[in-house]
Chain A
């Protein structure tokens, strides 16, 4: 126990890098998912085709392979080097964004058709329809799956140590090498990963509740603030597959 307490600052540094990667990756993935997801619902074939190509390509390649390509092949190809951290965020964001785009697309398509017809009857423009009617409803549908993707992304950040970023896994490896205490060195990292995941799950639950409340779908009474603390089930029921 002393072992971990003494080295806690080092672990926290590693965890901070992991959190930065998670936030950066999520931000990029979110923008890409929204952009290509909405593009996939447009009736014209060209935007739809572009969206499909993006989704299939970046969903099909493992994030680690993408990361290696950006960290090692890109400098040789173009002559300039990306920062390792940036390459990692780019690879993670592109990969998870492709899954997210599929979620956005299917959630928008799942909004009842009558809602869209009503906006046509009210003579709303495409932007008004998306912003006021379709997206708020699709949003509530997207959030549970987004929650799983956020956890997946956080877990996927652990491979960045292979391209030389000093994240939590790298710290655990260093600790092991310098002290020879394999079990304790790794348990520290496992616990921190677990805690980060729990915080993310909790945050996503709050977002879900807020989205549902805005649509007038209040959660059953009695749960109150304790509802988000219910046993978490991360990474299950993926729509569209991961």
Chain B
């Protein structure tokens, strides 16, 4: 039934692919963090903000996998699937993090804005020294949730053939006709990453909730 020898044999390949998966996750998440913040700030502009809102709403209500495939089909062939995957995941989650940042920014007390204005701070200092430090601190746990969500969305890059965990598993499976071990190990590897990160996140939540 379960072949341990075989499991040990495929483990190095799968662990290597897990490395790729983590790499995709971190790069995509980095894009989401930066781009999301920019979107959240730009959304306060009168006209452009509305356009951005509609665009992010559209990104959020359509599936990531079809977005990935669509963009992949439209990009020139010399751009690697992995780059496309990272970019699309990054932009998709930026639509979510923008909403998180926005709630943080709206949570900053009105008096803080007024004080910055009374001190006639330039816009850059108002945002950089007054608003964002308070806003971001409050939303760190919510942002952390999206790191785990990003990680769990990487397997769908199998749709464009990025060699992440699930693609690698499928390759091993179809070459050997033994799929039970491969897919079960992939499941466990997912748990191996997401359960500790969930625990870490809970600790983070407690720490920032206390302030």
Q: List the interface of chain A (C-beta within 8 A of B).
A: 56-57, 59-66, 68-69, 72-73, 76-77, 151, 154-159, 162, 168-169, 172-173, 176, 182-183, 186, 189-190, 193-194, 197-198, 201, 231-238, 241-242
Contacts and interface: CB of A to CB of B under 8 A. Distances in A.
A162 B190 contact: no
Nearest to A193: B62
Contact of B195 (A56, A69, A73, A241): A56
A194 B62 contact: yes
Given A65-B155, A236-B96, A157 B198 contact: no
B70 interface: yes
Contacts of B64: 155, 158
20 contacts: A61-B187, A61-B191, A62-B155, A63-B152, A64-B158, A64-B166, A68-B186, A69-B186, A73-B179, A73-B180, A159-B65, A169-B69, A173-B69, A190-B70, A232-B61, A236-B100, A237-B142, A241-B149, A241-B198, A242-B145
Nearest to A78: B180
Contacts of A155: 61-64
Interface stretch (B52-60, B78-86, B128-136): B52-60
A24 B57 CA distance: 25
A197 B61 contact: yes
Nearest to A176: B73
B21 to A, nearest CB: 10
Interface residues of B, number: 49
A234 B57 contact: yes
A148 to B, nearest CB: 10
A63 B156 CA distance: 10
B74 A62 contact: no
A69 B186 CA distance: 9
Contacts of A156: 63
B152 A62 contact: yes
Contact of A232 (B1, B57, B103): B57
A31 B154 CA distance: 28
B13 interface: no
B66 A193 contact: yes
B113 interface: no
B153 A190 contact: no
Nearest to A74: B180
B79 to A, nearest CB: 16
A170 B108 CA distance: 45
Contacts of A198: 61
Given A69-B184, A151-B61, A237 B103 contact: yes
Nearest to A241: B145
Contact of A162 (B60, B148, B152, B158): B158
Contacts of A197: 61-62
A62 to B, nearest CB: 4
Most buried by A among B65, B74, B103: B65
B63 A158 contact: yes
B186 to A, nearest CB: 6
